[in-house]
Amino acid sequence: MKGGIRKMKDKTGKNKMSVEKLSLWYNKSQALFDVSMPVIKNKATAIIGPSGCGKSTLIRCLNRMNDIIPLCRTEGKVFLDGINIYEKKTDVVEVRKKVGMVFQKPNPFPKSIYENIAYGCRIAGIKNKKKLDKIVESSLKEAFLWDEASDRLNESAMGLSGGQQQRLCIARALAINPDVILMDEPCSALDPIATAKIEDLIRELIKNYTVVIVTHNMQQAARVSDYTAYMYLGKLIEFGETKQIFESPREESTENYITGRFG
Amino acid sequence: MEFKKIINIFTNIFKKPFDKDNFDIKNILCTLSIVFSSVIAIIGFASTTTGFYVGDSFVRVSLIVLALLFSALIYLSYIRINKKRKILALIIFVIFVFLLAYYLPLFPPQYELRQFDVDASILKFMITSIVLIIVGVTGASLSMKPLYNFTSKSSQMSAYYILVVSILLIIYPLMLLVGNIIANGIGGISWEFLTQDIMKLGTEGGIFPALIGTLLIMIGTALVALPLGIGCAIYLQEYAKKGLITRVISICVDILQGTPSIVHGLFGLALFVPIFGISLLSGVLIMGFLTLPIIIRASEEALRSVPQNIREGAYAVGATKWQTIKTVVLPPALPGIITGSVLGVGRAAGETAPIMFTAVYFFGAGIPQSPFDAIHALPYHLLELTKLIGYKPVEQNAWATALLLLSIVLGMNAIAIIVREKFRVEF
């Protein structure tokens, strides 16, 4: 990233990303209120909370996906490797190359499986066929899709099942070799078997990547994440290690939500 | 598929009364009434399109029979199940039919519209045929209900009947029109007709220059309108923030679309003819304006049908806005854009008014050597030939020209449909 560099104090050096006093407005209604939280390197961070609490909004701030929504306005800072990505001089495209994203509904392009994965590299200017082949293969392997898709790389991605499509989207995100992968309820449209596959995949991914996952499903958060953030009505109520959040939450609201008293 | 379904439903109507399990005189009566009403409607239909009057006694007898059938139906079926409002409506319908049976034949063969100070008249066959259609269709759909014992299926069936009839109402005149033009025009179409120059005010020779002129107009219109229209649609749909300015542009596009083509023609006369003269270029420019809104609207629709989450997927792997549009949004939208464009260009091929003052001569323009030459065009040639009918022997050539023009326009539409169906992208 060029220019606008502002180092932030990170005593431990573990923080891959860090959100500081982030507020966000959709037109006139405020969706996030002064959210501050770290995203720790090579760990999975889960964001949980009832519907409409701003989980998705927050995760979309981490790679400036909210920029494409009209009338959306943010205040505050989000640091990626110590650089504020909301700085005016920051190139959004560079941010998104480092912070990949997987969406709620699988959204493969209406192209072949190969082209879907090679897409990110192609638009970044990589034209070498051998290099692309290699990237496609390694990404598919990383997303545990190689066995199922290796013999139909040139078929349309729309012919894959929902779970396969979602893993394809993960492979597509991995292909550009990001540092962080954001997942916005990646399993909400999938059946339990496909969900289990994605969850295993997340545990594999954190060896090489930093993962942030938004989820409705508390068991899922407990299973896959190392850190958990609980949000309510646009505010971050509690952030801590997953074990601590689920076993001895400090806030009453967190406890109520986790024990299923509301939400 | 659909055709089979329709056939099935209609054979069902005939089978119903012969059901041995629930034999009922009412069912026979219903079927009879449906068939009779349908026949009346069909006769009315034939009468409108051919302009022939079916005769006083026929109208009187058929309407009275229909009214009697309905009276019997009321007695046999409606009275048994207690539906007062429906009975009332039906009785009014029967009385109305009786009154029509008495008054309709009294209508004079030609009713002059004197009181409006116009030189017009209503012909008897028009009134009777329209009344026959309305009464027939209403009667058939009404007698559908007792056939199915007023269950929810009965209203479904009567609605279905009306919908099928409305489809036929559209298809039949179209077939009549196309069939008529083909039957009259096919004799005039020959290799010489297509390749020879226009001679003796179109009474002899072919229409080669007009054919070339129309093709040039189509190509030119595409060149003018496609880049502008698609660009405008991409800007409106992908770039522009939804606000006052986009709304104003949108309204402008709508107004452009609603502008009568003759106004376009006069506008071109005032704006382009002083600069480029009566020429292909002037015609193409004004035709481009005419088709622009069609292309903009179709392209916008095609772009809108590409789901937002596909765009997000591209942004998420670091695509810029233009890369996203170019690689992810445009390819699946292209079939829709091409369809709209082909339809727009097809429209340009058939329009007369915009080029009338700006681009065409009836005689002597020849094949243009440069964009600044005047041209011949099929629709204008047809207009002039039609004016000459009665003075010169041009009828055969006029029909042939009409057939050629129609096949060009229909051909364009067929291409549009093929492109849309073949290259459609499913999400």
Tens of pLDDT along B370-416? 888 888 889 998 998 888 887 888 888 889 999 999 999 999 999 98
Check A103 against B312: CB less than 8 A apart. Answer: yes
Answer whether residue B115 shows pLDDT above 70: no
Which domains can be identified in chain B, with CATH numbers? 2-184 (no CATH), 193-422 (1.10.3720.10)
At residue A242, φ and ψ (nearest 5 deg) are -55, -45
**A174 touching B (Cβ < 8 Å):** no
Mark A24-53 as b/e (b = at least 16 C-beta within 10 Å): beeeeeebbeebebbbbbebbbbbbbeeeb
Q: Are B317 and A122 in contact (CB under 8 A)?
A: no
Q: Dig out the tokens for B202 from the structure.
A: 């179109």
| Cα–Cα distance measured from residue A221 to residue A238, given in angstroms and rounded to the nearest whole number | 14
User: Residue A112 has what DSSP assignment?
Assistant: B
Q: Are B405 and B382 in contact (CB under 8 A)?
A: yes
Check B314 against A172: CB less than 8 A apart. Answer: no
Tally: H helices and E strands in chain A: 10, 10
Answer whether residue A182 shows pLDDT above 90: yes
Residues of B in contact with A96 (CB under 8 A): 315-318
| Residues B293-315, mean pLDDT to the nearest whole number | 92
Answer whether residue A148 shows pLDDT above 80: yes
Check B307 against A175: CB less than 8 A apart. Answer: no
Q: Kindly list the residues of chain B whose beta carbon comes within 8 Å of any beta carbon in chain A.
A: 241-242, 307, 309-320, 323, 327-328, 331-332, 425-427
Work out the percent of chain A whose per-residue pLDDT is above 70: 94
In this prediction, residue B4 carries a pLDDT of 80
Query: The complex's ipTM?
Result: 0.88
The shortest C-alpha distance from A112 to chain B (Å) reads: 12
Q: Are A144 and A113 in contact (CB under 8 A)?
A: no
Alpha-carbon distances, residue B373 vs B85, B258, B275, B278, B349 (angstroms): 71, 30, 13, 7, 18
**B40-49, B61-70, B276-285: the lowest-pLDDT one:** B40-49
Q: Are B27 and B72 in contact (CB under 8 A)?
A: no
Instruction: Identify which of B387, B361, B388 has the alpha carbon closest to the alpha carbon of residue B376.
Output: B361
| Cα–Cα distance measured from residue A75 to residue A243, given in angstroms and rounded to the nearest whole number | 31
Query: For B317, which of A100, A105, A158 is closest by C-beta distance?
Result: A100
What residues contact residue B367 under an 8 Å CB cut-off, 6+ apart? B208, B209, B212, B213
Answer whether residue A70 shows pLDDT above 90: no
Answer whether residue A22 shows pLDDT above 50: yes
Query: For B427, which of A110, A111, A124 is closest by C-beta distance?
Result: A110
- Interior CA angle at A162 toward A169 and A59, to 5°? 45
In this prediction, residue A5 carries a pLDDT of 34
Check A65 against B316: CB less than 8 A apart. Answer: yes
The shortest C-alpha distance from A71 to chain B (Å) reads: 9
Answer whether residue A72 shows pLDDT above 80: yes
Tens of pLDDT along B226-285? 999 999 999 999 888 878 888 898 899 999 889 999 999 999 999 999 999 888 999 999
Residue of B310, B317, B320 for testing the chain A interface, max A β-carbons within 10 Å: B317
| Residues A214-229, mean pLDDT to the nearest whole number | 91
Alpha-carbon distances, residue B97 vs A32, A74, B28, B73, B90 (angstroms): 70, 72, 21, 15, 10
Confidence of residue A7 (pLDDT cuts 50, 70, 90): very low
**A15-19, A201-205, B3-7, B61-65: the lowest-pLDDT one:** B3-7
Which residue blocks in chain A are alpha helix, DSSP H?
A: 55-61, 92-98, 113-123, 129-142, 146-149, 162-175, 192-205, 218-224, 242-247, 252-258
Answer whether residue A4 shows pLDDT above 50: no
| Cα–Cα distance measured from residue B424 to residue B106, given in angstroms and rounded to the nearest whole number | 57
Composition of chain A by helix, strand, coil, percent to 5: 40, 25, 35
What CATH code is assigned to A15-258?
Answer: 3.40.50.300
Check A119 against B317: CB less than 8 A apart. Answer: yes
The shortest C-alpha distance from B328 to chain A (Å) reads: 7
- Contact map slice: A 105-164 vs B, CB within 8 A: 105, 107-111, 119-120, 122-124, 158
Q: Dig out the tokens for B381 from the structure.
A: 């040639």
Check B312 against A109: CB less than 8 A apart. Answer: no
Work out the percent of chain B whose per-residue pLDDT is above 90: 26
Answer whether residue B218 shows pLDDT above 90: yes
Query: For B318, which of A96, A102, A169 is closest by C-beta distance?
Result: A96
Q: Are A255 and A247 in contact (CB under 8 A)?
A: no
| Residues A128-139, mean pLDDT to the nearest whole number | 92
Domain chopping of chain A, boundaries = 15-258
Task: Name the amino acid, one letter, at A23.
Answer: S
Handedness of CA A233, A236, A241, A245 (dihedral sign): negative
More confident residue, A33 or B203: A33
**A70 touching B (Cβ < 8 Å):** yes
Q: Dig out the tokens for A206 from the structure.
A: 């954190």
| B145 burial via Cβ count (<10 Å: 0-12, 13-18, 19+) | buried
Answer whether residue B331 shows pLDDT above 80: yes
What residues contact residue B126 under an 8 Å CB cut-off, 6+ apart? B48
**A246 touching B (Cβ < 8 Å):** no
In this prediction, residue B359 carries a pLDDT of 87
| Cα–Cα distance measured from residue B68 to residue B48, given in angstroms and rounded to the nearest whole number | 26
| Residues B31-50, mean pLDDT to the nearest whole number | 83
Tens of pLDDT along A104-131? 999 999 999 999 999 999 998 888 999 9
Tokens 């880049």 found at = B227
Tens of pLDDT along B143-192? 877 777 777 777 777 787 778 777 877 887 788 888 889 988 888 888 88
| Cα–Cα distance measured from residue A237 to residue A254, given in angstroms and rounded to the nearest whole number | 7
Check B327 against A124: CB less than 8 A apart. Answer: no
Which chain A residue is nearest to residue B313, measuring alpha carbons?
A107
Check A96 against B316: CB less than 8 A apart. Answer: yes
The shortest C-alpha distance from A70 to chain B (Å) reads: 7
Alpha-carbon distances, residue A4 vs A37, A83, B163, B338 (angstroms): 22, 8, 66, 45
Check A93 against B319: CB less than 8 A apart. Answer: yes
Residues of B in contact with A107 (CB under 8 A): 307, 309-310, 312-313
Which chain B residue is nearest to residue A111, measuring alpha carbons?
B328
Check B427 against A175: CB less than 8 A apart. Answer: no
Q: Are A172 and B312 in contact (CB under 8 A)?
A: no
Query: For B312, which of A93, A107, A119 is closest by C-beta distance?
Result: A107
Check B316 against A93: CB less than 8 A apart. Answer: no
| Cα–Cα distance measured from residue B12 to residue B118, given in angstroms and rounded to the nearest whole number | 50
Q: Dig out the tokens for A239 from the structure.
A: 């952030």
| Cα–Cα distance measured from residue B109 to residue B51, given in angstroms and rounded to the nearest whole number | 12
| Residues A64-76, mean pLDDT to the nearest whole number | 88
| A72 burial via Cβ count (<10 Å: 0-12, 13-18, 19+) | middle
Answer whether residue B6 shows pLDDT above 90: no
| B334 burial via Cβ count (<10 Å: 0-12, 13-18, 19+) | middle
Q: Compute and round to an integer the Cα radius of gyration of chain A.
A: 18
Angle between helices A162-175 and A113-123 (to 10 degrees): 20
In this prediction, residue A6 carries a pLDDT of 37
